[in-house]
A and B are shown apart, each in its own frame.
Chain A
Amino acid sequence: MSSTQSLHSLAFRVMRLCRPTFHVETPLQFDPCDVVVGEDLFDGDSSSDAHRHLLRSQFASGDSSSSDLTYRNRFVLSDDSDAMGLPGLLVLPQSFGAIYLGETFCSYISINNSSNFDVRDIIIKSEIQTERQRIMLVDTSKTPVESIRAGGRYDFIVEHDVKELGAHTLVCTALYYDNDTERKYLPQYFKFMVANPLSVKTKVRVVQETTFLETCLENNTKSNLFMDQVEFEPAPRWSATILKADVHHSEKDGHTREIFKPPILIRAGGGIYNYLYSLKMSSAPTKVEGSNVLGKLQITWRTNLGEPGRLQTQQIIGNPFTRKEIDLKAVKVPSVIILERPFLVHLSLTNLTGKKLGPFRVWLALSDSKEEKTVVISGLQRMDLPAVEAFESLEFQLNLVCAKLGVQKITGITVYDTMEKNTHDPLPDLDIFVDSDL
């Protein structure tokens, strides 16, 4: 609320009108049984009729009739839950507060005529100015306000969905005739900053056929944020399901579950909450390769009395999509493997494309780590495979041997296409258990 300018009859008074809040305050109200008698008075046989009368009379005195001219209601507890200090009284916003992207800025604007004369023909304009644009909220140019009498008021309420970050200015102007014949111009400026309430970080992981999207929401505001809805809108060709932790059986209470939706609360000043979605391709992969748009997040949060805020993220990109040409699988691995005794692993290679591929060469690639491989090919270190027709499979066997006991990994079985001259991704690690001979 800015100060008046003494030359003007008119002045703007502005008050941010976000929703009111419930007043909460631990009251200093007491039950007479807790004040005028010892706490154990009602134990055992020492209770007398008089004391029980006291009990009953204090219950009866719970009504506050208008003929009761005392401030009894500030001292005596009438209902048990009065002690909660939540009478249901609403309070007007007491300060401007912080404004965040995605909220709706709402303000009461009152133009006061504090002079002794009427003012006439008032053209009122109110707009929001940001770095990028000016948005007109109110403009009475076409139908000017006829007059505001001395001591009178003209009020309006403006609303604006905040979609930009940074400095904003609410500009209020009035063009009017006062007692002099010249036209007066009153501009007033109210500045505020808009900050980003949430940071969204995403991680994409692909496990076998499913893409998992992990999103982390971080609360940058000064108050706790309650997430009303966080929905992932998948791009075409994708479908998404949200994954939630199972509820412990002791928390499943049929009666209260309808009423108590556990709030998803993200703490002020850096609290986080994670969401996990599993995404599946809903239709067969096309020939398009390259960057992979998964979709975007629509986030709705609420603050007091349901005041909503809404944001959506930019498109979330998944891992670049490359079509697999071949599928390499382990078909059979022996259940008993003895130390230093060769064993056969049966594998199959499937040609996923529509044209003949190969011939191929198979070997066990050297590992990246400095550790020596414990499982190696027994015999020739390279195997040659013939070409495979379109959509056909070829089965082959590798003769392997392991030099170490216990749980070991078969890693790095790699297939190389000798025609196309490209190396395919190796077979994912296989775990085996190597037993001793004894």
Chain B
Amino acid sequence: MTAWNYRKLAFHHNQSQPLPDSDHIKSIIDEELRVVESALRKNFKSYGAWHHRKWVISKGNASTERELKLLNLFQKQDTRNFHAWNYRRFIAGLKNISDEKELQFTTDMINDNFSNYSAWHNRSVLLSHLLEKKVEGYFPKELFLKEEYEFVRNAVFTDPDDQSGWFYHLWLLDQTVKVDMPNLVSSWPPHGSEITKTTFPVVIYFSEAVEGVNLHTVSVQVENDILQNIIWSPLSANKFECGQAWLTHLTVPFREMNSSKIFEVKISSGDSQGIKSLNGVPCSQHWSFAFRVSAFPDLQPQGQSLRRILMTDEHFSPTDINSNAMMSLSNLYDELAGDYEQPTSSKWKSEMIASEIDQYRELLSWAECKIGKLTLARLLMANNAMITDTPAAPNMTHMEEVLQLYSELMELDPAHYQYYKDEHSLVFLKQVTSSKESLMKYCWRYKETSLNITGDMCLRLSNLSLSRIGSFERLLWVQSLDLSHNQLHSIEGLEALQLLSCLNLSHNKLGSFMALDPLRFLKSLKVLNISYNEIGAHPVDTKRYLCSSPLSHTLDYDKKFEEVATGDGKMVDFWEAYSVFGGLDLMQLDIVGNAAVDEKFVLFLAKLLPGLKWLDGEELH
């Protein structure tokens, strides 16, 4: 590398000789190219050599025709050399070779030997270019997708063990299902619902992470007044100024206290296209939802003579379908599903996916193939998402099959167990939340009805061996959630559940306080059980670089830390716990059974959370 740089300096020196005539420069360049070429002939995987060549060529004056010839030679010798492929893209760019021509080159290379990641990858890059530039025959994308599916099918069927084709297939599937723009998928409160609180959170949930949600892009209208003091903030721990879910708090102004006036609130997209996906695609489809607020003043002031809330079986009874709570959930669900504009998935997409499903079912009928099963699982999920003609009844036909596929994969391919497990969990939750009937099986009533903290009902997703959670857009209403006795290692996304007041995460695999970071956003949280996890059990937390540090001062309650921290020992755990719990107002916390917890830490928590009534089952005074 150093030698190459030295050559660059020498090259500059030679070039800057007085009166450089073009012949002279050309001879210098040719000499450089010759040196690089001989180096590449010895080792054509040398980063330095390829880079130097690129540098020399970018000086101009050299024949790119010759470069193409050289590339043809090298790429014939080693068809998968990604340096050569990179360099080829560079030269193709310089020479303005059409993408179609280069696409043909990848076809030829793949025809010679389809076991070539680089060629498939270049193909996807070129097709993306062609699609972007809307070149005739490549836009819209359904024009080429069908052919490409057939092309790659030849590779995948000929040798299912060769992964390069599968990767390309994944790219195609992604292109097929990708919704062109972000859209609103759900909200709290849902459309048509009735809220009986005067101050409540509003959550809008998009199909992907977006930025630019603000006063101008989202209009909030109470009766006929458009509110001008709304501040939207993203519910996302890691990303800056963007998120899939956005939050604001509304306080419905009511002038006539004690009256039973009902306010109509309407939230709709503003006229600008300011809400954008992270790739810059605007959410251009108009959306709106409306709900009513009955302005009853809160009847029971909170925080009086609280008993410990226990989330064990004996404290629950199964829900009765005809109970009030269930009825309201039922309505809520209908509404939730009913009124958001779903982008109409084109017919070609569902046809394409359906045909792919048939093909891969056939392949799996004679070949035991891990990546084939995974692809089929993904295709089936894509299919489910596609054929949702009526959003009220999402199609869940293939769920059992998908779950079965992931279960098989966990056994077949232990090396990727965690990935399959996570996918399995996400699909399972999708299935659970797909309809009110399926969800009802997991809803339990609190026997004690006077607990207004928890609400009447608890969603109990315990003992399901979940390793991840998802489908938050369908859980925005949940106040009380039991996720105990699972294998959760992350609760990412949970921050969207703004009504959550009672959460049981005991007996999971959460490895650090930072894994609890989403809790930071759950300002209504009163009861939390994180006992018997693995907090502090793993000495090195690889996610640490993502979290806020004592020096970053992103938290608004920094000063408090100075007061409560005693300034010694396990500062890291203390800080992390502080960053998660510092902003919460917990009344009950169970944290026993974690490596990080010792006496000193318990004292620290007690100081940190002055509102705490119960800590690990002991009443505090």
Q: Do A and B bind each other?
A: no
